[in-house]
Amino acid sequence: MTAQIINGKEIAEKKKVQIAEEVKLLKAKGVTPGLAVILVGNNHASRTYVSNKQKTCEELGMYSLLIELPEETPEVELLSKIEELNGDSKIHGILVQLPLPEHIDEKKVIETITPAKDVDGFHPINIGRMMAGQNAFLPCTPFGIMVLLEESGISISGKNAVVVGRSNIVGKPVGQLLLNQNATVTYCHSRTKDLAVHTSQADILIAAVGIPNFIRAEHVKEGAVVIDVGINRNDEGKLCGDVAFNEVREKAGYITPVPKGVGPMTITMLMYNTLKSAKETLR
Ligand code: NDP
């Protein structure tokens, strides 16, 4: 079997068109969705991510505000900037680009963002709501994965889903979202024994490990849906995922490539969440 490729870039573009249309409607009602992005320090990768977020905001007709703070910014100053944005009616989403310099407590920063503007979905209130199946801002990468599955017509209810990786931003929440949609979910991590015993039971296999080519054909059940979250560089410096794409595609039913798989969905769902937040101000 050769897997059908799930084209994340195409699905993301389709979603962005829908978001841009909704932004237009909202603007006609006097509300322009606004996203504030705070960048502390001069991390090269972070700068690229932030500029992509800004560009996408502008492309979709949203207001984007970039706040750049020097590396040595005291924590208290960052927290007070966030408080200011919490009260700014032009801003519907606040995102603090991670990682932060070591002297700043990430947990404090995330908890200072009001849950109503937490478009990254990292605030404990949003995490709790997501777990309870309530209305919440869903974290963007897991949310994007759910949209990829939906747009590809893949049913989730009753399926065995195996998530390799249990980070707070990807592994744990994507497992929860799959559970919310009635999958039977297994989490695997660095202490899991006999990984292939678990992964080979998966109808839906999510790889969020951060190790190039970690998931091989032997880990995958014939016809499985394989979602590769990894963004890594291989020995030649080329972008690659966590899944050995060429061998796994010969066994899987569906597979996401890297690049053009999960990656483009993350930023799209950030825009979706900002729009959702802006719409909620009209309720
Ligand atoms: P983390 O490093 O936070 O988590 C990695 C997870 O993999 C951990 O839970 C770890 O287990 C597990 N793991 C490590 N080694 C093994 C092993 N040998 N066997 C089984 N599990 C193992 O990574 P993230 O979740 O933040 O990211 C994962 C990947 O996804 C990265 O490549 C990252 O770049 C990418 N990513 C992509 C995004 C996108 O938009 N496409 C967004 C975010 C991340 P343990 O908990 O036991 O340590």
| pLDDT above 80: residue 143 | yes
Ligand 1 atom 5: residue of nearest CA: 209
Q: What is the DSSP string of 62-100?
A: -EEEEEEE-TT--HHHHHHHHHHHHT-TT--EEEEPSSP
Distance (angstroms) between ligand 1 centre and the Cα of 86 equals 31
Indicate whether 32 pLDDT > 80: yes
At residue 119, what are phi and psi to the nearest 5 degrees?
A: -75, -10
Tens of pLDDT, residues 165-192: 999 999 999 999 999 999 999 999 999 9
**CATH class of segment(s) 139-263:** alpha beta
User: Is the pTM here over 0.85, yes or no?
Assistant: yes
pLDDT recorded at residue 205: 99
Place of tokens 């209130």: 125
pLDDT of residue 217 exceeding 90: yes
Model pLDDT, residue 283: 82
Over the stretch 56-105, which tens digit does the pLDDT of each residue have?
999 999 999 999 999 999 999 999 999 999 999 999 999 999 999 999 99
Asked if residues 93 and 274 have their Cβ atoms less than 8 Å apart, the reply is: yes
Q: Which tokens sit at 241?
A: 């995922």
Q: How many CB atoms lie within 10 A of CB 63?
A: 18
SS3 251: coil
Decide whether any atom of ligand 1 lies within 6 Å of the 194 Cβ: no
Report how far apart the first and last C-alpha atoms of the chain are (Å, whole number).
49
Among the CATH numbers 3.40.50.10860, 3.30.465.10, 3.20.20.120, 3.40.50.300, which is that of 31-119? Answer: 3.40.50.10860
Q: How many CB atoms lie within 10 A of CB 66?
A: 15
Q: Is the pLDDT of residue 52 over 80?
A: yes
Given a cut of 90, whether residue 44 has pLDDT beyond it is yes
Question: Is the pLDDT assigned to residue 24 strictly greater than 90?
Answer: yes
Q: How many CB atoms lie within 10 A of CB 94?
A: 27
pLDDT higher than threshold 90 for residue 153: yes
Question: Is the CB of 213 inside a 6 Å radius of any atom of ligand 1?
Answer: no
Distances 260 to 9, 97, 257 between C-alpha atoms, Å: 5, 22, 6
One-letter amino acid for residue 187 of the chain: Y
Spatial separation of the C-alpha atoms in residues 11 and 27, rounded to whole Å: 24
Is the pLDDT assigned to residue 1 strictly greater than 90?
Answer: no
- Ligand 1 near 141 CB (within 6 A): yes
Mean model confidence pLDDT for the chain:
97
From the list 137, 134, 133, 135, the residue with the least C-alpha distance to 122 is 137
**Contact between 109 and 82 (Cβ < 8 Å):** yes
Q: What is the DSSP string of 124-140?
A: HHHHHHHHTT-S-PPPH
275: helix, strand or coil: helix
Please list the residue range(s) of the chain that carry CATH number 3.40.50.720: 139-263
Question: 201-210 burial by CB neighbour count: b if 16+ within 10 A, else e?
Answer: ebbbbbbbbe
Asked if 144 contacts 120 with a C-beta cutoff of 8 angstroms, the reply is: no
From 106, 189, 194, the mutation candidate for ligand 1 (largest count of ligand atoms within 8 A of CB) is 189
Per the document, the length of the chain is: 283
Nearest CA to ligand 1 atom 41: 263
CB 80 within 8 A of CB 107: no
Overall average pLDDT of the 224-251 stretch: 96
| CATH 3.40.50.10860 boundaries in the chain | 31-119
User: What's the rounded Cα separation, in Å, for the pair 281 and 85?
Assistant: 15
Q: What is the position in ligand 1's atom list of the atom closest to the CA of 262?
A: 41
pLDDT of 149 strictly over 90: yes
